[in-house]
Amino acid sequence: MKRCNVVRVLFSKEQAKVLETLGNRCAALWNAANFRCRQAFLKGEPVPSYAALCSEFKEHPAYKALPSDIAQEVLKKLRKAWDSFFACLRLWKKGKLEKRPGLPRYWKDRRTGKRLVRLIPVKSPRSYSLDARALSLTLPADLREKHGGRLVLCTKGVLRFHGQPKTLELRYDPVRKRWYAHQVVEVPEPARPARPEKHAAVDLGARVLVALAIEGLDRQLLFSAREVIKDFLYWTNQIAGEQLKLNRTGKKTSRKLRRFYQLRARRLRHAFVALAAEIVRILKRFCVTTLFIEDLTGIREDMDFGPKNILVHNFWAFRMLRNLIEAACARAGIKVVPMEPRGTSSRCAVCGHPVRRPVRHKAVCEKCGKLWHADANAALNILLQGSSKGHGAEATPQKPLAYRWNRHRWVSRFESAAGTLKAASGSRTAA
Ligand SMILES: [Zn+2]
């Protein structure tokens, strides 16, 4: 299984220049090879393969200006970009994409026409070494003498995964003006101890991000979207304010604006990563082996749109949350099974009769009269769909346990009550 270590790379002024030179040369090679591919595509000829590109560009000055391990990797990346372009094109032809995908672009600023320094890919650990303190990199022949053979940069961050090192990418973040190293590591699959089958199910939504039902547990867990959306809205307003300011001066974008976009996305992702981790922690505690997850294709029809529809317009947010939950489960050795959402929120989880929805978040069974939290009911229904054993929550539904995001971690109602109590008593003693 492949994992990725990300660390920040620190540099002196002189080293920054070297990185920029390298990045610029990568862009030069990318653009030259991409021009060749685009011409071939537009003329209706086959786009050259990776091997063809390598042999064709071997004598090219842009190729020769780079160490071969970097130059080859640039060409490989370009070919991959073309592969995904063709994959998108096939989807578009089947009518599964709204817009026709664009050709792989040049690494070039459209306005100024200058080359963009984006990334420096390094093929194999033959040409680099990365440990907890430093990253060392081979240099092209003409730079070698001046810098003593190799470029040695200090790193900041933790290498989370250990295993066989594969390729490495140095990426430039133009908003933060920082370089980051992304290292791929081949990690051995964790051995899974044989455990008895136990099931759980999650339902994704806009007001309650995740409703979690676990087999044999008589109360469901709900993760509220409230704080997450509040934070998202705050940064959306900041973005709007900055855009207004830019409009007045006639500009389109600024570094500050891009920074706000980045912050908003990162803060959302932080909440989601923590949510996925919390879910997996709970699943492990209850020794769950299989998680049923609602398929997202139906989410729009059956969805509570939430305040200002904010996360639905940003539909990718749900895909991201789902992917993060899946990835976290994979790491913990929990199987994830996607389920078709078939009226999961319109039937009673105990007797299967239709439910009434007096208010959005409540569901009342018309036959047995049970009062459900709508999302908890949906999660139980998904669990029922997937598991033949039933969910073991046939008794009167208990009030579900609510979790909220405190911008640091997900806390349950009890925990947060205890926290405020402690804080209150603490402040009293301090006073
Ligand atoms: Zn019922």
DSSP collapsed to 3 states, 49-72 = CHHHHHHHHCCCHHHHCCCHHHHH
Amino acid at 50: Y
Give the Å distances, CA to CA, from 48 to 53, 56, 129, 133, 227: 6, 9, 32, 40, 50
Q: What are the mean pLDDT values of the chain's consecutive 10-residue runs (431 residues total)?
A: 92 91 94 95 93 92 91 95 95 88 91 87 89 89 81 91 92 92 89 81 86 87 90 91 92 90 93 96 92 70 52 70 92 87 78 80 81 84 76 63 91 66 46 37
One-letter amino acid of 378: A
Distance (Å) from CA 364 to ligand 1 centroid: 8
**Centroid of chain to Cα 40:** 34
- 337 forms beta bridges with 292
Single-letter residue type at 12: S
Domain coordinates in residue numbering, the chain = 2-186, 199-424
Distance 246 CA to ligand 1 centre (A): 56
Strands (E), 75-140: 119-122, 128-130, 134-138
**If you count DSSP H runs as helices and E runs as strands, how many of each does the chain have, helices first?**
11, 17
Q: For tokens 């790379």, name the residue.
A: 9
pLDDT value at position 221?
92
Token pair for 277? 């981790």
Residue 325, burial from CB neighbour count under 10 angstroms (0-12, 13-18, 19+)? buried
Distance 398 CA to ligand 1 centre (A): 14
Please tell me the predicted confidence (pLDDT) of residue 268: 92
Rounded to an integer, what distance in angstroms lies between the CA atom of residue 212 and that of residue 380? Answer: 8
Rounded Cα distance between 239 and 222, Å, is 30
State in Å: Cα 350 to ligand 1 middle. Answer: 5
Whole-angstrom Cα distance, residue 87 to residue 425? 60
pLDDT at site 291:
93
Calculate how far, in angstroms, residue 89's C-alpha sits from the geometric centre of ligand 1: 47
